[in-house]
Amino acid sequence: MSEYKKYLHVERLGSEECEGLLDNNAVYVTAKIDGSNGCVYWSEKAGGVMVGSRNFELSDAEDNAYFHAWIKSSADEATLLRTYCEEHPTRIVYGEWMRRDRFIGAFKGYDKAALGKLLIFDVYETAEERFLGEPEWREELSASGLEPYFIKLLAVLDHPTLDDVVAVAKANNFLLEGTDAVGEGVVCKVPGWKNRFGHAAYGKVVLDEFIKQRKPASKSVDVELEIVNGYMTDAELEKTVAKVCTMVNAEAFDPESRKMMGMFTSMCWKDLLTECPNWVKRMKNPTVDFGKLAGLCNARAKEHVKACEQKPL
């Protein structure tokens, strides 16, 4: 019986793991798409068909873009997969899950007919601990009515060069027919092939042109100013003012005191750096000019003290 098994990592062609992969007379080149890795299999533990994401088994409580809910649905492909896995309990079917209502990956330009489908690209036989060859699994799943859901086989090449594979990748229009978009790339497989480390391995080519088109150019953002405005709030600055007063045993903050102003601006900067993990995460690892950030921090601190000084009693 099958249980959850994480899919192998597809290495870039040209890496050590793929050395010798292209030195074969039947290199299967398939389309690569930008979705979410998923698998379907018969689970003895669950007593039925289960699904997994790239890294773990899914459940009602921990789904991935509705994939677990989908396998239980009346969707044509889900029904066919449940039947196939029940009839082949030692097989695991792998594919790229395309969310039901919108595309999951960074690229959103695929044919919307692909939504709500698992686009199948591989099958693993647990009893023999091997991936089925490309022709083998395609023939077997076609007999079960699943052919409309296959990732496209683009070419079978005899001892190709890397340039040969790149040429196939650039001509790939799977799910992109009638558009000017470029496909993500391709995956190269040789049935039964193992690398010099004794591991089954596949090679991929990802096109730079695809990466550039995935996201529109982001608007220019003043990162340093956004950090200061987001984390140096009046409430936080008032707390720092109170700390300085306590430290120097003063009843009120004196902006004319070089000592108090020095302590205040220094503590503001320290507090802002303490928040660094939070704004780095929220702003997704921004590039920060810390010299500029320090200048804005000092200016904000002085602005706050001046504004407080001018408030009417």
Q: Examine residue 6 and state whether it is found in any structural domain, yes or no.
A: no
Which residues constitute the domain of residue 182? 11-213
Residue count (the chain): 313
Provide block-wise average pLDDT over 10 residues at a time, the chain (313 residues).
89 94 97 93 91 91 90 96 97 92 78 93 96 96 98 98 96 92 94 94 92 62 87 87 88 90 93 88 86 93 79 45
CATH number of the domain that residue 24 is part of? 3.30.470.30
pLDDT of residue 313: 38
pLDDT of residue 49: 96
pLDDT of residue 62: 87
Residues 117 and 93 in one domain: yes
Cβ-based neighbours of 287, under 8 Å, separated by 6 or more: 223
CA–CA distance, 79 with 75 (Å, rounded to integer): 6
Last residue of a domain, one of 181, 213, 245: 213
Residues 207 and 229 in one domain: no
pTM reported for the whole predicted model:
0.69
CA–CA distance from 307 to each of 149, 188, 189, 244, 268 (Å)?
A: 65, 65, 67, 17, 16
Number of structural domains, the chain? 2
Q: How big is the CA angle at 122 (ends 161 and 199), to the nearest 5 degrees?
A: 65
CA–CA distance, 4 with 21 (Å, rounded to integer): 27
Last residue of a domain, one of 213, 239, 271: 213
Q: Examine residue 1 and state whether it is found in any structural domain, yes or no.
A: no
CA dihedral 43, 49, 50, 54 (to 10 degrees): 100
